[in-house]
Amino acid sequence: MDDKDVIIARQKEQIQALLQRIKELEEEIARLKKDSSNSSKPPSSDIVKPASIGRRRGSKRRRGGQPGQRKFSRPPFTPQQVDKVISYELSPKAAQGLEPLPEWLVIQPVELPKKMFRVIEHRARKYRDPATGRIISATLPATVRKGGLAGPKLTALLAFLQSGCPCSFSTISRNCRQVLGLTLSRGMLSKMMQKAAQAWPPPDEHLRARLPQEKRLGVDETGHHDNGKRHGTWCLQTPRYRFFPINRSRGSKVLRQLLGRGFGGVLNCDYFWA
């Protein structure tokens, strides 16, 4: 490569860098121009009152993305995530004289299966002792006996709907019946939630042990009643996780129990007396 080629290569790199910088600046300008009159931002976020706020009712702005807004597209599924591929090609007559390319126009719709769950039957053979007439069964695994109707994944999904969404037992039961085709009573769901709660102590204890070593910690609490008795739900928030202990007390002794007396991090709170 001679000096001329080196200069051309450097110029191409500079052009690409400048084009990328222009794109970033255009996106930044579009972002700075957004206010409550031309985007979904609330009026409280406006630094100054938009000039066109009085004419907003008669605006001819089209729905959807506006000029200058950055486009966000879902990344395509990988070949390992695709379950079935259906290819479409022109007929030999329509493709006559055309050169096939190793490129495809790809659309990847996601669909639910016809049956949303599988049933696994565990069978333990029964035996009769001819001498005594006693019936003896083969041993089922302890995890199967304790698991009950729902397996681990279904239990985790329903526990997420109940605690993370959150949904009532009636809503979860209706969702299971109409979407999954599975009938679960509210009493059964209650038992499943209790079973799911038994899996929480190990991670709960792990996070509790980390609290005194945190460098930054946000703390707040609120009171509520449970069976007529007053309780306090605390929230201890870190950049990576949130810890929600429930205690009968809303006093400072809860913080001393969780953080100890020698907590050396930064505590962000609302100066509540506790």
DSSP string, 103-122: -----------SS-------
Judge whether 5 lies within some domain.
yes
The structural domain count of the chain equals 3
Judge whether 182 lies within some domain.
yes
Task: Count other C-beta atoms under 10 Å from residue 259's C-beta.
Answer: 19
Judge whether 105 lies within some domain.
no
| Final residue belonging to a domain, choices 167, 197, 227 | 197
Pairing relation of β-strands 216-226 and 266-268? parallel
Judge whether 49 lies within some domain.
no
171 and 224 housed in the same domain: no
pLDDT at 51: 60
212 and 257 housed in the same domain: yes
> Up-side HSE of residue 236: CA atoms within 13 Å toward CB?
25
185 and 210 housed in the same domain: no
- The answer for residues whose C-beta is within 8 angstroms of residue 137's C-beta and 6 or more apart is 124, 125, 126, 127
Q: Are 182 and 226 spatial neighbours (Cβ–Cβ below 8 Å)?
A: no
- pLDDT band (50, 70, 90) for residue 177: very high
Give ∠ CA 218-220-224 in degrees, rounded to 5: 155
More confident residue, 53 or 189: 189
Judge whether 10 lies within some domain.
yes
pLDDT at 145: 87
Question: pLDDT for 189-198, tens place per residue?
Answer: 999 998 888 8
Q: How many angstroms separate the CA atoms of 246 and 257, rounded?
A: 13
264 and 223 housed in the same domain: yes
214 and 256 housed in the same domain: yes
| Final residue belonging to a domain, choices 134, 167, 197 | 197
CATH number at residue 217: 3.30.720
263 and 238 housed in the same domain: yes
For the CA atoms of 160, 166, 170, 175, the dihedral, rounded to the nearest 10 degrees, stands at -60
225 and 171 housed in the same domain: no
Amino acid at 47: I
| Final residue belonging to a domain, choices 162, 197, 232 | 197
pLDDT at 158 over 90: yes
Question: pLDDT for 92-140, tens place per residue?
Answer: 999 999 999 999 999 999 999 989 999 999 999 999 999 999 999 999 9
pLDDT above 90 coverage of the chain, percent = 49
193 and 205 housed in the same domain: no
Q: How many angstroms separate the CA atoms of 37 and 53, rounded?
A: 6
- pLDDT band (50, 70, 90) for residue 162: very high
Instruction: Report residue 62: phi and psi, to 5°.
Output: -75, 155
- What integer is the mean pLDDT of 136-150? 89
- pLDDT band (50, 70, 90) for residue 41: confident
Pairing relation of β-strands 246-247 and 229-237? antiparallel
Q: How many angstroms separate the CA atoms of 150 and 192, rounded?
A: 8
Give ∠ CA 26-30-31 in degrees, rounded to 5: 115
Nearest to residue 259, comparing CAs of 271, 239, 274, 240? 274
Q: Structural domain of residue 19, as residue ranges?
A: 1-34
Judge whether 86 lies within some domain.
no
191 and 157 housed in the same domain: yes
Q: What is the pTM of this model?
A: 0.56
Judge whether 63 lies within some domain.
no
pLDDT at 146: 83
Judge whether 258 lies within some domain.
yes
- pLDDT band (50, 70, 90) for residue 163: confident
Amino acid at 9: A
- pLDDT band (50, 70, 90) for residue 71: confident
Q: How many angstroms separate the CA atoms of 163 and 160, rounded?
A: 5
206 and 263 housed in the same domain: yes
